[in-house]
Amino acid sequence: MSEEKLKIERIKKGTVIDHVESGYALTILNLTGLDESPNLMTIGVNVNSKKFGKKDIIKIENVFLTEVQMQQISILSPNATISLIEDYKVIEKKRVKLPKIIKKLIVCTNRTCITNSREEPIDYEFNVLQEKPLRIQCVYCDRIYRLDEIIFATKRKKENKFLKQIIEL
Ligand SMILES: [Zn+2]
């Protein structure tokens, strides 16, 4: 076993997200909502990697990612690999892939965009203009977003709920 692997403890059951773009581990945890999980997480930032120079690694015990979370990771870190662990062994390994068109996952924050219309809201849809650094464009209003401007629809839902609670108080 290489020295690099020894630095990060093995997990018995759960998910390992490897080959994450270096410096992106915390962004991924935050944007996917995984940071709200009560399970044990081990995060390696700027781990030496033969393939990519430096990378981040995220290990989460007892958690298997949802399809939506995997799609979110594909947008944030298209080189990531996701391994499912049972009894300390990798039972499945998946590579994420950045799609050319991103549907429903990301919110367009342009208030006048048709996707935010109160009468007939339609599903968000973005074209991927550039993978690295990421640039995506809303199909409906043409607004362009960079990685640090992305808001996932799952997060928006939670914020709206929170806002509603405050108003009700
Ligand atoms: Zn738009």
Q: With respect to CATH, is domain 101-168 assigned 2.30.30.20?
A: yes
CA of 88 to the centre of ligand 1 (A): 44
CA of 116 to the centre of ligand 1 (A): 8
Its CATH architecture, for the domain 3-95, is: 2-Layer Sandwich (3.30)
* pLDDT over 90 percentage in the chain: 67
Give the pLDDT confidence score for residue 163 in this predicted structure: 64
Could you tell me the pTM of the whole model? 0.83
Q: For residue 1, is pLDDT > 80?
A: no
Residue 54's φ and ψ, nearest 5 degrees, are -130, 150
Domain boundaries, the chain: 3-95, 101-168
101-168 shares the fold of 3-95: no
Query: Rounded to whole angstroms, what are the CA distances from 3 to 19, 26, 81?
Result: 16, 23, 20
Q: Quote the CA–CA distance of 155 and 160 in Å, as a whole number.
A: 9
CA of 25 to the centre of ligand 1 (A): 28
CA of 43 to the centre of ligand 1 (A): 34
CA of 127 to the centre of ligand 1 (A): 11
